Structure 1
Amino acid sequence: MRNTGPKTRKARRIGEPLRDKDAKYMVKRAYPPGMHGQNRARLSEFAIHHREKQKAKWIYDLSERQFSRYVHDAARKRATTGDTLLQFLESRLDNVVYRLGLAASRAQGRQIVGHGFITVDSKKVNIPSFQVSVGSTIEINPAKRDSKYVERLQTAIKEYKPQEWLELDAKNLKGRVLSKPTPQMSGSTIQMDLIVEHYNR
């Protein structure tokens, strides 16, 4: 089951913003929530690993079952498990929609995918967890072009610059996956090696 509680509270718990708008709140309260938030003891090794896992789950808005499946699938690949795990997470359709600027957040990306606003290679896909491949084209469904959401998006996306593993055609509201994302390309602050160690305990 996905944890849908207050995201800023979660961000304060791990000490890092989960969304862009969390940062301004954390300037005022740069400590964990709760009455003892400013006097927390040093974390154990297990707690550090667990916190990193929670951070990744919350950033990508996944349940424990979903996340553990990604970890186990990544471990079966020949490549480095941590890098493969990041690629699985970043290649989710809801995340790619967000990274392209077609949604303001991953949560909104999940919503518009579920509502049929997105096509992949000209076919409607309404599954947020769909894995997007290198070379795929992601765009706003032509059947939804007259919606108020798309009208607002056309103004908001004009100056948007996606990460280097993606290409955006802002005028036509579509993008393409140029390569598999690396930690450097995605700007990820998640320490995937700690997560892998957590599941290998």
Structure 2
Amino acid sequence: MSRYTGPVCRLCKAEGVKLFLKGDRCFTEKCAITRGETKNKQRRGRPRAKMSEYGLRLREKQKLRRFYGMNEGQFRRMFGEASRMSGVTGHNFLQLLERRLDNIVYRMGLATSRSQARQLVLHGHFTVDGRKVDVPSYLIRAGAVVAVAENSKEVAIIRENAEVAASRMIPEWLEVNSERMEAKVLSIPMREQIDVPVNEQLVVEFYAR
């Protein structure tokens, strides 16, 4: 399946929840979900038909896949990896998704969205433990240091993002040094530390059907 290239706000409206695909716009009143909630309060419509069990699980899977900006093939392969690990499959899956390099860059505040983080990684602007890595799906281990490459610290978009990164919420499992433009992964995040608006068990049930 190819990557979706249309208006990302449509994806949020389709899932009925903020997926934070539009960067800073998602935190303003211009957000499609925020505008939609306002309009719904002003008008009444017919209730939607009850969703089937399959439909419920499909929507939850799509919501999670779109949240991290992955195509179906990548997503399914990572789920397969999570299912082979010991422990709770749903929690393993979320931890693998959070450990992706593009997600770490986004969580550091050096990109306004995961799609922008993916592009910055692909262009070779980041290093892991001092070695340049340009693979967005690269899995970061606990104790690793993700940093902006020395020759990329003057890139305009990275500097702009770094200036406002201090005002963004940084996960407690990351230790960010804004001046050096780097972050250390203190630990693999626990489920309660991952702010993803999904029920991962429904995703597990979708693939287990």
| Fold conserved between structures, TM > 0.5 | yes
In 2, Cα distance between the equivalents of 1:132 and 1:112? 16
RMSD: 1.9
Local SS of the residue matching 1:4: coil
Local SS of the residue matching 2:64: helix
- Quote the offset at 1:93 in angstroms: 0.2
Say which is worse superposed, 140-149 or 106-115, in terms of deviation.
Answer: 140-149
Structure 2 counterpart of 1:14: 15
In 2, Cα distance between the equivalents of 1:113 and 1:38? 45
Tell me which amino acid in the other structure corresponds to 1:139.
Answer: A
1:27 equivalent to 2:21? Answer no
Q: Is the 8 A contact 2:111 2:158 kept in 1?
A: no
- Out of 192, 197, 208, the residue aligned to residue 200 of structure 1 is 208
Aligned length, in residue pairs: 197
- Out of 184, 195, 198, the residue aligned to residue 176 of structure 1 is 184
Runs of 4+ aligned structure 1 residues displaced above 4 Å come to none
Q: Is the 8 A contact 2:173 2:189 kept in 1?
A: yes
1:38-57 to structure 2, matched below 5 A, reads 39-57=47-65
In 2, Cα distance between the equivalents of 1:13 and 1:181? 28
Tell me which amino acid in the other structure corresponds to 2:126.
Answer: I
1:48-197 to structure 2, matched below 5 A, reads 48-197=56-205
Gaps of 5+ in 1: none
In 1, Cα distance between the equivalents of 2:158 and 2:51? 45
- Quote the offset at 1:153 in angstroms: 3.1
Tell me which amino acid in the other structure corresponds to 1:12.
Answer: K
Tell me which amino acid in the other structure corresponds to 1:100.
Answer: M
